[in-house]
Chain A
Amino acid sequence: MSAEATTQVAQIAKRKGLPESRLAKVFLAPSVIVMALVALFPVVYAAVMSFALYIGRTQQGVGLANYAQALTDNRFWAAVIATFVFTIASVAFEFLIGLGFALIMNQAFRGRGLTRATILIPWVIPTVIAGTMWQYMFNVTPGTMNFFLPFAPASFNWLGQPGWAMFSIVFADVWKTAPFVALLLLAGLQTIPIEVYESARVDGATAWQRLIRITLPLLKPAILVALLFRTTEALRVFDLPYVMTNGQFGTTTLSILVQEFVVQAANPGYASALSTLTFAIVLGIGVIFVSMLGRDLVLGTQEA
């Protein structure tokens, strides 16, 4: 735009209402207020509580003993490993399958409306229900999975062995959440103009080349958002391992460990320390994603 037009816009903006920077704060305010009031204060509460040392129900002082105990506890590190294994496996598969779904949903063919609705079905079932359903199916009693799979021995104990227990919950999570990833990627696919594909095709690019060279790069922000939210959610997974395996056979994730101390053994200080540590881990990973994403957002995604 010319300098003259820019000045005009600035003058008009000033005449018509708040200066833009103040308007920005006004736009942001409602979100920030709601989030701070509801979601921030328990975090602060727990951080403060994590320094309180409890024996039984009485507070015995303050200090870092909760953290020392957590960081030297084998169960904590086992939970970290289990959480990471679950996260990497499930996010990887969800991304691949979700991308496939998104590419298909993006196309025009007969019955695509129904296909899209079908793909969304696993995701709209509440997690506790899906968890109960898969627990029921994988469980050796009554053995639904073993009943349907011809190659599975009649009493294969899916949920009762290390390794296979994790497989079962990853499987259930992928089944349930790949559509979510597909939805996010699909929304991103919509922003890619058709002309870009047209010109590439005219230039003789194959479908695979178009996927790798055009689609994926242009999709990068949506991919990062999808990976970001899936990863941070997977790191905090609770419902599925709780309902399906109760944390047994190497499936105790960090959230399950936290729940044990929030509900069962009721040590508020230690529970808060565990929650804060979990939060720190998840936050660290989230920050990495956001810094990758933030630059793109600020710069915009229009390629020259």
Chain B
Amino acid sequence: MQRSAFTRRSLLRLLATTPVASACVRGSSPGQKRPNEIVWTIAGSDFPPLVQISEMWNALHPDHPVRTERLPDSADLQRIQLGLELNAQGSSFDVMSLDTIWTGEFAENEWIESLDDLRREAEQRILRGPLSSGMYQDALWAMPVTSNAGFLYYRTDLVPEPPRTWDEAAQVGMEAARRAGIAPYVGQGAAYEGLVVNYLELLWGAGGDLFGPALEQVVFNSTSAARTAVEFMRRSQQEGFYAPGFNTMMEDQAKTAFASGQTVFMRNWNAFYGFLQRPENSQIVGKFDIAPLPVFVDGEAASTTGGFNLSVSKFSTKKAIAKEFIRFASLSEDAQIHLGRNSRAPVLASAYGKLQDDPVMRLLGQVLPNAHTRPPVPYYNDLSLALQQQIFPAYTGQKPIPEALDAITAEIDRIIRRRQQISGQEQ
């Protein structure tokens, strides 16, 4: 009897050592929840200037404050977190910052509210390039708030004038690289979305495109542009225009290579310009500049836009206020100029008028209106995967180019046909 009581007491003692804190279900945290607030999800690296915009709003509308929640930088992780919440029809988010390629998908999934009542004002005041990334099926679903575009960074001490065509770039670049003992060019060549961006810039620069104007007709392989673009990449990889390791490079590695002085050219987003001018970040301060991307001989200027669009969650309980906030963030000069002063490209056309003293902003003001957007179709993910999986082996020499291009066209056709099947069956 004694012993069993003893044992029981010992067991109880063991269980009681489970940390008392865990009997509480969560700990304390520094943030305050306020009543009537709207939740705005932002991707991490854009956080400071965008939080400042929310604070500007809070000063003007203290009874409807905006609280920001920071999502991870990785687009995949953002997608998972947003997707899980929206799939469960949760109302935790009111305003969401969306990647420009998610517009069609989120609209089709009925995850976001239509913003068509803001459309006329947007068409008059927002730059055309970024705005088209928020449109789907001729309606406005997501309002751009900040944009960026691809540019050619070049070493001013090695190359006096930025090249206008890709062939010129290859020639000049390889010559300068040979003289300086470094590599000619870095961009984004790993098999991921960045590769698609780089390829599309070449495709557009050769006068080609993926779809016709109505996004219905596939024009990808109907001109020689697609082939020109891939062949250029293949030649560059073979002849050494592309630096070693190009086929595993993402934006960060390209930045590292250029910043340490190891390449002549870099294709990257404009966001790095200010970053590279600080001595703790680069060894080439004062020795580089930024220019629009080259094109092929008979093509037009070609940059891909990135950036973020703001949308209202379909399951939000404060949609009207959320839309008002979006109007403030995207269409008020105060907010947009604030972004411009913090190295984030505004989307409001009139903001550029007040930012002319900044050379990068001037350049952006020139390039952005005509920049291309990746097709905002709901199946963009499948499309991008198809491109990645064919372009990558094509330019690295693992697959013959005609075969790869045909495979892309076949894949796009298949995706579209299956979608037509569904909409046919749904009637």
Contacts and interface: CB of A to CB of B under 8 A. Distances in A.
B80 interface: yes
B69 to A, nearest CB: 20
A265 B385 contact: yes
Given A55-B422, A56-B419, A246-B192, A265 B245 contact: no
Interface stretch (A19-27, A101-109, A154-162): A154-162
B381 A142 contact: no
Interface string A234-266: 000000000001101000000000001001111
A142 B378 CA distance: 37
Contact of A264 (B4, B76, B257, B378): B76
Q: Which of B248, B378, B421, B422: most chain A CB closer than 10 A? A: B248
Interface residues of B, number: 33
A155 B257 CA distance: 12
Interface in B231-262: 244-245, 247-249, 253-254, 256-257, 260
B351 interface: no
B406 interface: no
B61 interface: no
Interface in B337-396: 378-379, 381-382, 385, 392
B248 A265 contact: no
A263 B84 CA distance: 10
B385 A160 contact: no
B79 interface: yes
A270 to B, nearest CB: 12
A140 interface: yes
A118 interface: no
A141 B422 contact: no
A157 B249 CA distance: 11
Contacts of A265: 381-382, 385
Contacts of A142: 256-257, 260
B157 to A, nearest CB: 21
A160 B247 CA distance: 6
A266 B381 contact: yes
Contact of A140 (B83, B245, B254): B245
Interface residues of A, number: 22
B385 A157 contact: no
| Chain B interface main SS type | helix
Contact of B76 (A16, A245, A263): A263
Nearest to B255: A141
A275 B4 CA distance: 48
A139 interface: yes
A139 B382 CA distance: 28
Interface string A48-75: 0000000111101000000000000000
Interface string B108-142: 11000000000000000000000000000000000
A157 B422 contact: no
Contacts of A140: 244-245, 248
B226 to A, nearest CB: 23
A60 B381 CA distance: 21
A157 B256 contact: no
B245 A157 contact: yes
Given A263-B79, A265-B385, A248 B248 contact: yes
20 contacts: A56-B108, A56-B379, A56-B418, A57-B108, A57-B109, A140-B244, A140-B248, A142-B256, A142-B257, A142-B260, A155-B244, A157-B245, A248-B190, A248-B392, A263-B79, A263-B83, A264-B76, A264-B79, A264-B385, A266-B381
The 6 closest A-B pairs by CB, nearest first: A140-B245, A155-B244, A141-B253, A160-B248, A160-B247, A141-B257
Interface of B: 4, 76, 79-80, 83, 108-109, 186, 190-192, 244-245, 247-249, 253-254, 256-257, 260, 378-379, 381-382, 385, 392, 418-419, 421-422, 425-426
